Structure 1
Amino acid sequence: MAMSMRRALLPLHRISSSSLKNAEASLDVRFPLPFVVPVRTKKRFFVPPAVGIKGKVSGSPDQEAKARAAGIVIRQEYMERPINIACTAGVFDPYIPPEGDARLSSLSKEGLKQRTEQIRQGAASQLAIRKIKEHDPEFTTKLFPVKAQEIFIEAHNALSQFNKVKLHSLVTERCYPEMVRGNRYKTLRWRFVESLEPPKLVHARCPDMVTKGNLYGQVTVRMHSRQTLAIYDRFGRLMLGSEEEHRDVLEYLVMERHLVNPYGMWRLHGKIVPAWAPAKEPVLKTVMIPGPELKPGEEFEELNYEVPKPKAVQWHK
């Protein structure tokens, strides 16, 4: 029975297959074959061109055409540079110290002029203090100057001990390189003796950066104290200052905090040096003086030796 059914259906299958072939031939249906374009280079393989900073291919137009023909898709790459928003890059609206500060009496004529000018400039500071108190409820104009002085003392002690971890927690990223620059092969001896006048808050600003509402608090504290400083070179010779001589120092410290950050802390951001401040003392540099060539068994007599003078050298451009 099965054989008789197969014999009956076999002619029908042949007729249907032949009709389908005739239909394909009449419609001229062709299936697409994979199209491969060989790319030949000197190194026998294709190297995709480099991508620039703005995401554009830095190669020639021929390399771009070869890359497209080979089916290589080059992604647009952008060079991302890290931005540190933990601190600002400078001091906004810096405080201008009055000339003769800590010398003029408040009862003199010039002292009264300075007092009235400070009252006029204090309106903007009061507005900034209100913004700072909204984000830092513990901030007070009476207790903060004492806290700023403690931060200043701890930061300079960490600098003299070269404690980088502690120094980073006490100063901002803008102030750190200014404090450690040039102190690699030197020895610092710094000591805070006493405070001649209680520290006082003289200036406050609350600027925003990048976006509105990203607030940074900057407070300027006036500190008049007595300190000692001595700097030794790598050979242990004194370059500047003295460990026994006390000096009166008048400084204007700028403290900063990222107010929006709940874990932000007040850190030393910089110092304001007035234009009328006296110039710094020159640093004594160590210079090696050539000595005489001694033979074995000879001793150097310091009293009879004369230091040779440098010869005049004619410089030509």
Structure 2
Amino acid sequence: MSTVLGPANMARMRGITGTLVQSASYASVRNQDTRVVLKEVGIMDPYVIPEKENRPSLFSDYKKWVKYAKLRMRNTGMTAASTLGMCWRLKDFGITGRFLSESEDAYIAMNEAFAKGDRVFLEEICTPSMYQKLKGQLKDRVGRYEWKYHGIIDKPQIVSIRQGQIGGHVLVQIIVRLHSNQSMGVYDKKNKLVAGDLKNVVPVLEYIVFQRYISDPADNWKILGKTAPESSS
């Protein structure tokens, strides 16, 4: 989601918000006028399909290919089932439209807020556990951060949707693949560049997990954390 502080190449595959995050704290869900405290379940299913270049071959490693094929089939089936259940409640959900556009906007906003140290906005856009993780990184870091978004490389893509229930509340988590160009610079008190370089644009591939209690009309999509394809080795 390693700490954030470091040279430019640290941002290459993880982005400004650093390490992978899986939640284990508590979240609050509004139910009409009653505030209900629910335990965060973390990422229900962190699996994402490996990038094409990392997928096993049927001919070179049959066992790994069979495992990959089963996991991919399972992911497709569970995503389809969860999508049907979600769309039944969220009539205006646009899988290839508004949600993906808003997920990219939320990702940009989170990184910008993190760079600026805007804890108030981070708390609004992230789940409590994700916010606590980022707040801890903000507390530990040194220097002034600048982060720039240089545009998307591939269109945002939904790779997984999962639906579950917690105490009668329906929870949905969506994993979005975001592949973009970014740059980051870290400056000391004298405004001297000490890490990174805003001119050094690097590709960043991240899988962002969004969460919403869809049984609560007042709840909004929030960033729960990140995941990544498991190693093929």
Same topology, TM > 0.5: yes
* C-alpha distance after superposition, 1:204-252 (max 9, x if no partner): 101111x2x3111100001111111223455655454221101111110
Alpha carbons of structure 1 residues 234 and 269: separation in structure 2 relative to 1, 3 Å = farther
Q: Which of these residues, 156, 175, 178, is aligned with residue 223 of structure 1?
A: 178
* TM-score (normalizing by structure 1): 0.53
Q: Which of these residues, 87, 102, 106, is aligned with residue 151 of structure 1?
A: 106
What is the Cα deviation at residue 89 of structure 1?
3.9
The one-letter code of the counterpart of 1:149 is E
SS in 2 for 1:181: helix
1:264 matches 2:201: no
What is the Cα deviation at residue 183 of structure 1?
2.1
Alpha carbons of structure 1 residues 131 and 239: separation in structure 2 relative to 1, 3 Å = farther
Q: Does structure 2 retain, via aligned residues, the 8 Å contact 1:95–1:220?
A: no
Q: Between Structure 1 and Structure 2, how many residues are aligned? A: 189
The alignment yields a C-alpha RMSD, in angstroms, of: 2.9
The one-letter code of the counterpart of 2:95 is T
SS in 1 for 2:206: strand
* C-alpha distance after superposition, 1:151-172 (max 9, x if no partner): 1111111222222222222111
More strand by proportion, 1 or 2? 2
Aligned to 2:86: 132
Aligned to 1:85: 28
Q: Does structure 1 retain, via aligned residues, the 8 Å contact 2:153–2:180?
A: yes
The one-letter code of the counterpart of 2:130 is C
* C-alpha distance after superposition, 1:48-78 (max 9, x if no partner): xxxxxxxxxxxxxxxxxxxxxxxxxxxxxxx
The one-letter code of the counterpart of 2:216 is N
SS in 2 for 1:183: helix
Aligned to 1:187: 144
SS in 2 for 1:160: helix
Aligned to 1:123: 77
Aligned to 2:46: 94
- Structure 2 unaligned segments of length 5 or more: list them: 1-25, 30-37
- Structure 1 unaligned segments of length 5 or more: list them: 1-82, 278-317
1:207 matches 2:207: no
Aligned to 1:60: none
- The within-5 A match list for 1:230-309 is 230-233=185-188, 236=191, 238-276=193-231
SS in 1 for 2:84: helix
Q: Which runs of 4+ in 1 moved over 6 A?
A: none
The one-letter code of the counterpart of 1:196 is I
Higher relative contact order (CA 8 A, sep 6+): 2
Distance 2:197 2:42 in 1: 32
Alpha carbons of structure 1 residues 115 and 223: separation in structure 2 relative to 1, 3 Å = farther
Alpha carbons of structure 1 residues 275 and 117: separation in structure 2 relative to 1, 3 Å = closer
Task: Name the larger-Rg structure.
Answer: 1
Distance 1:222 1:182 in 2: 23
The one-letter code of the counterpart of 2:85 is K
Q: Does structure 2 retain, via aligned residues, the 8 Å contact 1:89–1:174?
A: no
What is the Cα deviation at residue 119 of structure 1?
4.2
Aligned to 1:42: none
* TM-score (normalizing by structure 2): 0.70
The one-letter code of the counterpart of 1:207 is G
